[in-house]
Amino acid sequence: MAKPRDRRRVVVTGQGVVSAIGTGQEAFWNALKSGECGIGEATLYSTDELYITIDGEVKNFDARELGLSKQFLLSDRYSQFAGCAAVEAVNQSGLEMPLKGDEALRTACIIGSGIGGVTTMEMSYRMLFEEKKRATHPLTLLKTIGSSAAAHVSIEYGITGPCFGVVSACSTAPHSIGLVYQMIQSGLCDKGIGGASEASLNWGTAKAWQAMRVLSPDGLFPFCKGRNGTVLSEGAAILVLEEYEHARERGAKILAELVGFGMTSDAADMVNPSLEGTSTAMQLALDDAGLAPGDIDYINAHGTATTANDINETRAIRRVFGKAADDVSISATKSMHGHCLGAGGGVEAVGVIMAMEEGIVPPTIGFDEPDPECDLDYTPNKARKREITYAMSNSFAFGGLNAVLVFGPAPA
Amino acid sequence: MDDVATKIIDILKKNMKEPTDSIALETPLTDLDIESLDLAVIVFDIEDTFGIEIPYNANEEVEDFATVGSVVDKVKAIMSENKSPGAAA
């Protein structure tokens, strides 16, 4: 447990989440620990000419009712999700906003998205190609670009330091959070907002995913023998990260410490994950944290319920953890909130931090018969009480882009 | 070899890195260096060519995609289902 202390430490002082099982961390966590499923029949678009008709939608999301500022009311749903999660995270952190002067300059705002405002894009194409309108809506471009969520949040809070979006498909959130962590660690910034948002549920996206033949027609069942693909969903998660002394001096409540970050690229295949790339990312995160595998109590797995991911991830955990693999609690909470793509690893990071705080491992739901090749403890169906000191969150994206975060307790 | 089989073999060849002329009905798809993503592209091509929909899921082992001949049989079966009355439902 000898962690190198010769560098600046980074803590989490706020978090916000929007998901198919709840908006706001309290609703989200209550659903997560009680094993609620947010996957159901799609309602946001017509399922005509689709044979995959389920997804995980954020219910009753009304930006105006949530009190978001005017700039968010005019933005794409993906930016609104980010705005909503950012407001929750910043409020919890107790930081005084908007920021000013040097403090604003030494704050980062890195909010990515797998695909950005693609629903706005689809609506605009419909207007042009189908309805033969003479022009698109004037805000089409600003709503669509994948950096608009980051820009909107920086405007909201007067953040004048590094601000951009990160794109790495289903690893977008941990890459964004990891970058903010490194910026704080290196001394470039003292705090930052990191996370990702996704709201790509529309007819065209559903068509595109369906054509890839990786979606399940009936649910997301990670590590099960009968798993038959993933389920698209949407959501957002934002963390407020802060240099430890900075947080301590202002008396902030520290939710967790971000102790390790590892990232690799398989450099092998667009869809089939590699054992080498995924296990090395986990190992690098452990090395960065100065932890041994046996120190990890809980892993929130990438667990997409595709044939390829779940076997590869199981083998990667066995490879890195060795004997400790049989003692670590694992769960794939995508079984509940679905696969919210770029936002996935962020939503799962919030779940990890709350699991640590409450000492409860959320379950993998819909778990009936285990796949003999997936032979770890996936916390089937029911949450379990367990003291969690250190926890890992895995994200392994299409293209072989891997990012792993390790969280620990607030520094004593 | 009939028209359906010839067209399917042409589609397979188009999607192979090194197309070979020695593709027979009994050739297993695994011998053709076809992976899951290739298969999604091939199924898309077949659907387009024959105007049908094939319920293929890359996460499931499907016997219909074991050999060239089994793909041909599957396509023919779907085509004849589409022709039969009431198939539109």
Q: What is the pLDDT of residues B28-86, one digit of tens each?
A: 998 888 877 889 999 999 999 999 999 899 898 778 889 999 999 999 999 998 887 65
- Chain-wide mean pLDDT for chain A? 97
Full residue range of the structural domain in which residue B47 is found: 3-83
Confidence at residue A253, expressed as pLDDT on a 0 to 100 scale: 98
B89 assigned to some structural domain: no
Confidence at residue A85, expressed as pLDDT on a 0 to 100 scale: 98
- ω into A98 cis (within 30 of 0): yes
Confidence at residue B87, expressed as pLDDT on a 0 to 100 scale: 45
Q: Which is catalytic among the residues A152, A175, A246, A339?
A: A339
**CATH number for position B17:** 1.10.1200.10
φ, ψ (nearest 5 deg) of residue A327? -100, -15
Confidence at residue A412, expressed as pLDDT on a 0 to 100 scale: 86
Radius of gyration over every alpha carbon of chain A, rounded to an integer in angstroms:
20
CA dihedral A226, A231, A236, A240 (to 10 degrees): 20
Neighbours of B4 (CB within 10 A): 17
Whether residues B40 and A213 touch (CB distance < 8 A) is answered with yes
B19 assigned to some structural domain: yes
Domain count, chain B: 1
Least confident of A4-13, A189-198, A253-262, A283-292: A4-13
For this structure, is A170 an active site residue?
yes
| Residue A363 pLDDT greater than 90, yes or no | yes
Min distance A305 CA to chain B CA atoms (Å) = 9
| Residue A11 pLDDT greater than 80, yes or no | yes
For this structure, is A302 an active site residue?
yes
Query: Percentage of chain A with pLDDT > 70?
Result: 99
Confidence at residue A401, expressed as pLDDT on a 0 to 100 scale: 98
Beta-carbon contacts of residue A217 (< 8 Å; ≥ 6 apart)? A51, A52, A53, A54, A228, A229, B57
Query: What's the CATH number for A11-249?
Result: 3.40.47.10
Q: Which is catalytic among the residues A37, A109, A170, A374?
A: A170
| Residue A157 pLDDT greater than 60, yes or no | yes
**Could you tell me the pLDDT band of residue A137, with boundaries at 50, 70 and 90?**
very high
The three-state (H, E, C) secondary structure of A165-217, written as one string: CCCCHHHHHHHHHHHHHHHHHHCCCCEEEEEEEECCCCHHHHHHHHHHCCECC
Min distance A250 CA to chain B CA atoms (Å) = 51
Confidence at residue A118, expressed as pLDDT on a 0 to 100 scale: 98
pTM, rounded to two decimals: 0.95
Q: What is the pLDDT of residues A253-268, one digit of tens each?
A: 999 999 999 999 999 9
Confidence at residue A2, expressed as pLDDT on a 0 to 100 scale: 47
Domain ranges of chain A: 11-249, 264-400
B27 assigned to some structural domain: yes
The CATH T-level fold of domain A264-400 is Peroxisomal Thiolase; Chain A, domain 1 (3.40.47)
B45 assigned to some structural domain: yes
Q: Which is catalytic among the residues A109, A302, A337, A340?
A: A302
Mean pLDDT of A220-239: 98
Q: What is the pLDDT of residues A67-83, one digit of tens each?
A: 899 999 999 999 999 99
| Residue A96 pLDDT greater than 60, yes or no | yes
Confidence at residue A392, expressed as pLDDT on a 0 to 100 scale: 98
Neighbours of A347 (CB within 10 A): 33
B17 assigned to some structural domain: yes
A11-249 and A264-400 share one CATH topology? yes
**DSSP states along A33-56:** HTT---EEE--SS--TT-S--EEE
Confidence at residue A317, expressed as pLDDT on a 0 to 100 scale: 98
Whether residues A212 and B58 touch (CB distance < 8 A) is answered with yes
Beta-carbon pairs below 8 A across chains A and B? 41
For this structure, is A152 an active site residue?
no
| Residue A106 pLDDT greater than 70, yes or no | yes
Confidence at residue B89, expressed as pLDDT on a 0 to 100 scale: 42
Min distance B54 CA to chain A CA atoms (Å) = 10
Helix, strand, or coil here: A2?
coil
| Residue A403 pLDDT greater than 60, yes or no | yes
| Residue A1 pLDDT greater than 70, yes or no | no
Confidence at residue A6, expressed as pLDDT on a 0 to 100 scale: 78
| Residue A357 pLDDT greater than 50, yes or no | yes
Does the interface ipTM go beyond 0.85? no
Least confident of A24-33, A211-220, A353-362, B9-18: B9-18
